[in-house]
């Protein structure tokens, strides 16, 4: 049965927007931040609608579930069924292919996209002894940590931020791990930056494409909601994310591939310039390719394609195939 269309919502309307969100603490915190920003900008109230996704229900590895798209499918189904008006995603969780009938209406200003170490006894990555057990669920992090040659034992883990941190000895839990690597942005949004023992330099561990960014999605034909979301959009963040995700898409790599990309925008002589770095690393850390490119921020998509082509010329496809 087709769900009824929602009532029109306009600026100053008393009818609340329905925001679909995963039910985890991090997801609801992110969604509440967006909801509050919408209300502050437009006066429209927003209610959160928790939605369970396959990724939340399963304990299997992300790669076994078909990649991080499992976290967004149910939210998108709810949008298309008109049971919610918009959804907030961690942008790095989105497949690179566009979703029919939907659009990313806003990309708010990005949090710090770097990875962070939470280790026992306040240790940094370089201070962890050989054989130390470091937990992470991302193949990208696994590959890059192994490539550092520190002799660490990288342990695949799943679970929310609190569950992962609770496994670190001397922090707050059972202590079967010496450290975990997490996205700094998530820790910031949860107010847990005090647990970070080191923010990892991108020269060591390059972030995932779109890490730290949020994507606010709605139906492409919902002009009223798109108009309400427009004030939340940040042009610099959108350009950086477009460059990073274009690199990922051109490499034909999934969200769980050992691919990293990080873009920054700075003022150049002829206007804003975008500096994009990307890498592909063998899962065992034995080999990898890195590259960078610079150009006008408005050429973000072209820069992403060019950098991906360079990486492919230098063996990126073979590295990704071996990792699979």
User: For residue 161, what are the contacts with CB-CB under 8 A and spacing of at least 6?
Assistant: 25, 26, 182, 186, 187, 190, 192
Tokens encoding 251: 């490499």
**CA gap 186, 115 in Å, rounded:** 10
**CA gap 118, 128 in Å, rounded:** 11
Cβ–Cβ under 8 Å, residues 196 and 251: no
How many other β-carbons are positioned within 10 Å of the β-carbon of residue 233?
Answer: 15
Say whether 167 sits in a helix, a strand or coil: coil
User: For residue 235, what are the contacts with CB-CB under 8 A and spacing of at least 6?
Assistant: none
Catalytic residue among 93, 115, 178, 222: 93
Told to judge if 93 belongs to the known catalytic residues of this protein, a careful annotator would answer yes
Say whether 196 sits in a helix, a strand or coil: coil
Q: Output the CA angle 205-304-76, nearest 5 degrees.
A: 85
User: Which residues are the active-site residues?
Assistant: 93
């Amino acid at each position: 049965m087709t769900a009824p269309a929602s009532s029109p919502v306009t600026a100053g309307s008393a009818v609340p927007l329905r925001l679909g969100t995963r039910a985890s603490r991090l997801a609801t915190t992110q969604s509440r931040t967006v909801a509050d920003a919408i209300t502050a900008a437009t006066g429209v109230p927003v209610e959160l609608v928790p939605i369970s996704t396959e990724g939340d229900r399963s304990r299997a590895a992300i790669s076994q579930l078909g990649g991080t798209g499992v976290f967004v499918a149910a939210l998108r189904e709810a949008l298309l069924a008109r049971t919610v008006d918009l959804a907030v995603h961690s942008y790095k969780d989105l497949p690179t292919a566009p979703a029919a009938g939907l659009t990313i209406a806003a990309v708010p200003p990005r949090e710090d996209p770097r990875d962070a170490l939470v280790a026992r006894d306040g240790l940094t990555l370089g201070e962890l002894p050989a054989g130390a057990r470091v937990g992470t669920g991302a193949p990208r992090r696994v590959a890059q940590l192994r490539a550092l040659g520190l002799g660490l034992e990288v342990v695949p883990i799943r679970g929310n931020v609190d569950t992962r941190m609770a496994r670190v000895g001397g922090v707050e839990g059972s202590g079967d791990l010496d450290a975990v690597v997490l996205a700094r942005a998530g820790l910031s949004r949860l107010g847990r930056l005090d647990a970070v023992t080191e923010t990892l330099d991108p020269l060591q561990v390059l972030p995932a494409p779109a890490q730290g960014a949020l994507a606010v999605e709605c139906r492409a034909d919902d002009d009223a909601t798109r108009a309400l979301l427009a004030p939340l959009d940040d042009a610099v963040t959108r350009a950086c994310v477009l460059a990073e995700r274009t690199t990922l898409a051109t490499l034909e790599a999934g969200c769980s591939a050992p691919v990293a990309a990080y873009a920054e925008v700075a003022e150049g002589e002829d206007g804003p310039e975008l500096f994009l770095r990307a890498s592909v690393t063998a899962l065992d850390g034995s080999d990898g390719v890195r590259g960078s490119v610079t150009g006008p921020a408005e050429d973000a998509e072209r820069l992403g394609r060019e950098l991906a082509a360079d990486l492919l010329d230098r063996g990126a496809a073979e590295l990704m195939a071996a990792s699979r």
